[in-house]
A = this chain, B = another copy of it.
Amino acid sequence: MSKALRITQHGAPLDVLQFIEGDTTGARPLDPSEVRAAVRLAPIHPADINVLEGTYAALPTLPATPGNEGVAEILEVGSDAASAGWRVGQQVAFAPGSGTWRQRMVIQESSLTTVPQGLTQEQAATLVVNPATAWRMLHDFVTLQPGDWVVQNAANSAVGRCVIEIAAALGIKTLNVVRRPELVGELKALGADAVVLEDVKLRKEARAITGGAPVRLALNAVGGDSAVNIAGALANSGTLVTYGGMSKQPFRLGTGQLIFGDLRARGFWITAWYARATRAEKDAMLEAIARIMRQGHLTPSVDNIFSLNEYRQAITRAMEPSRPGKVFFRP
């Protein structure tokens, strides 16, 4: 029996979240394909809040323990999981949505991912969702070469910052759109090549910013006018990938951007990627990201770390709009 957070219904986070001292979900005997793990550190992401509220697209069967990701240590390994190579003491992370806000987890080995060596615990606990989203979007839609340009909105978001740092490590240049002028210097320090405010009309200005280089990939987490604006930076036959809709406005494009500009609009969801990726594909990506992390990049700044029974403070803090860093649980 161990400690966990749990919801039995959706609603205002502090109304629905429960602290359980006698959680048994991590205590039952293992099936051969399962492992038991002790969660060491788990972040509170905006998507976690949306799960509590019931507004996220993929919701768990209730009752459920929230927590999209985290880093854990394997305590016990079923026989088939052992054959698959998992070992007691190994550091692991999980496919998104596995429910990390608890001390003990029993989980199918197919939902585990290896944590590469040499990462800080904070890096390991935030590897699987945001850096992976940025990595895949920079690789799965357009073949980019060093020197190529990518444009993105919400450049100050967690994924947006990962895009900047990963792109910089790969030699790919980023044109970043933000809402607040005070972010310009901060994102440039992270490796952003150009940072502009939302009122810059990229259809007219993008080529001047890139020195005439075409932009073939746009990453959109906002929707509405902002998506139209970054689409305007794209060269003919460019691809716009949507991974969020922060503006709550629908995704829009001018009809002419599609027909005469041959723009391609796609969507990306990291959870679906993990569901279809092989273990080798996951390992290769996480190791590639870890190489960048070990150079000191993709390090989340820590705002606060709470224990599970401090969940009211933790959630309240995580929902404040102007935190300087990430809020974590240490179960």
A contacts, CB < 8 Å to B: 57-58, 223, 228, 242-245, 250-269, 272
Contacts and interface: CB of A to CB of B under 8 A. Distances in A.
Nearest to A57: B260
Nearest to A236: B272
Contacts of A258: 242, 251, 265-267
A267 B261 contact: yes
B272 A262 contact: yes
Number of copies of this kind of chain in the complex: 2
Top 9 A-B residue pairs of the complex, sorted by shortest distance between their CB atoms: A258-B267, A245-B255, A265-B265, A259-B267, A57-B260, A242-B258, A250-B252, A251-B253, A259-B269
Contacts of A256: 57, 245
A258 B260 CA distance: 21
A259 B241 CA distance: 9
A249 to B, nearest CB: 9
Contacts of A245: 255-256, 259
A257 B242 CA distance: 10
Given A244-B255, A255-B267, 12 more contacts: A57-B256, A250-B253, A250-B254, A251-B253, A251-B254, A251-B258, A252-B252, A259-B268, A260-B269, A261-B267, A264-B266, A265-B266
A136 B24 CA distance: 58
Nearest to A259: B267
A22 to B, nearest CB: 35
* Interface core residue of A245, A253, A263 (most chain B CB under 10 Å): A253
Residue with the highest number of chain B CB atoms closer than 10 Å, among A57, A251, A261: A251
A261 B265 CA distance: 13
Nearest to A251: B253
Contacts of A252: 250-252
Nearest to A249: B255
B255 A250 contact: yes
6 contacts: A57-B256, A244-B259, A250-B252, A251-B252, A260-B272, A262-B269
Of A242, A243, A255, chain B has the most CB atoms within 10 Å of the CB of A255
